[in-house]
Amino acid sequence: MRAVLTIAHLTLAEARRRRILAAALLLGAAFVALFATGLHFIARDIRAHGTPGQQGLMLSFVVMAALYVANFLIVMTSVLVTVDTLAGEIESGVIETLCTKPVSRWAVATGKWLGCWLILALYALVLCGGVLLVARLVGAYTPPNAARGMALILLEGTVLLTLALAGGTRLATLANGITVFGLYGLAFVGGWMEQIGTVAGNATARYLGIGASLLVPSESLWQLASYHMQPPLVRDMGMGPFSPQSVPSPAMVAWAAGYIVVVLATALRLFHTRDL
């Protein structure tokens, strides 16, 4: 366990020293600041002209739009932070001196996963926490189930982070990045196919979408997060672009958690058995 923490600490130190953390957090803060400024003016207009019902709907839409972008940035960051952590060190040979120390390879890979996850969690906290805090302070609005929604977004990032680590055990950095973003693309398109298939009553499109979600459960976690973080009226009526027509089953959370465990275990196995 000590070795896992040592490697995780090194991964965090690398992100700090190579200004990855600073870039992510500064631009994350800039994103939140821009959202705060925009929301300030939008909320002022809404309060001046709208009814309380309209105000709630409008604030929910704006906050969900910000969370949608935050979710996208978290997805990108989860892959970009992890894509090179093993693949790069294998390519450069840095990993050789690590793996000839009395540290098992699973500890090396787990430590890297943990380090990347901590960066992701911090980034998600800054982005989602910032958006929610701004919504509360500037718009006097808090989406329902905010903590659950944030946890689902973090889970989505964790799915992609774990896939990027697994890919890095066998693929070069660039190939790994292309593969993981490609898988994310499949899940994204699958999610939309499921929604459109539901609206159009096309079972084939819907089942294809569900299949894609089972293959990579990232988009369905966002759909679930957006479902929980909207007012009941909006989500149940299917009003607005963030209201899923086909709400993913709560079992998808268990599927995603199991998926992470299986992919991580596979990554450890692949790393353990490969030649360095």
Partner 1 sequence: MAEPALEARALRKDFGPKVAVRDLTLSVPKGEVFGFLGPNGAGKTTSMKMLLGLVRPTAGGGRLLGEPIGQTRVRARVGYLPEHFAFHEWLQGRELLGFHGRLLGLRGRALGAQVDALLRRVELVDAAHRCVREYSKGMKQRLGLAQALLGAPEIVFLDEPTSGLDPLGRLLVRDVIRDLAARGTTVFLNSHLLSEVEVTCDRVAFVKDGRVVREMTLGEAEKDLEVALRLERTSPSILGGLARFGRDVREDGGFVRLRMDDEARLPELSRWLAGEGVGLYHLAARRRSLEEVFLEVVG
Joined tokens for residue 68 = 């949608």
Give the list of residues 6+ apart from residue 276 with CB closer than 8 angstroms, or none. Answer: 90, 95, 96, 99
Joined tokens for residue 23 = 């870039």
Task: Output the CA–CA distances (angstroms, integers) from residue 229 to 68, 122, 144, 221, in the order listed.
Answer: 11, 21, 5, 12
Closest CA to 77 of 131, 30, 124: 124
Q: Kindly tell me which of 55 and 104 has the beta carbon lying closer to partner 1.
A: 104
From the CB of 105, what's the least distance to partner 1, in Å? 9
Q: Kindly tell me which of 5 and 69 has the beta carbon lying closer to partner 1.
A: 5
Q: Kindly tell me which of 107 and 205 has the beta carbon lying closer to partner 1.
A: 107
C-alpha to C-alpha distance for 150 and 125, rounded to whole angstroms = 8
From the CB of 271, what's the least distance to partner 1, in Å? 12
Beta carbons of 91 and 258 less than 8 angstroms apart: no
Q: Site residues (CB under 8 A) for partner 1?
A: 2-3, 6, 10, 13-14, 17-18, 92-94, 96-104, 273, 275-276
Q: Kindly tell me which of 112 and 228 has the beta carbon lying closer to partner 1.
A: 112
From the CB of 93, what's the least distance to partner 1, in Å? 4
From the CB of 89, what's the least distance to partner 1, in Å? 8
From the CB of 15, what's the least distance to partner 1, in Å? 10
Query: Read out DSSP for 157-173?
Result: HHHHHHHHHHHHTTS-H
Q: Kindly tell me which of 47 and 274 has the beta carbon lying closer to partner 1.
A: 274
Q: Kindly tell me which of 69 and 103 has the beta carbon lying closer to partner 1.
A: 103
From the CB of 26, what's the least distance to partner 1, in Å? 19
Beta carbons of 167 and 87 less than 8 angstroms apart: yes
Residue with tokens 């604030």: 59
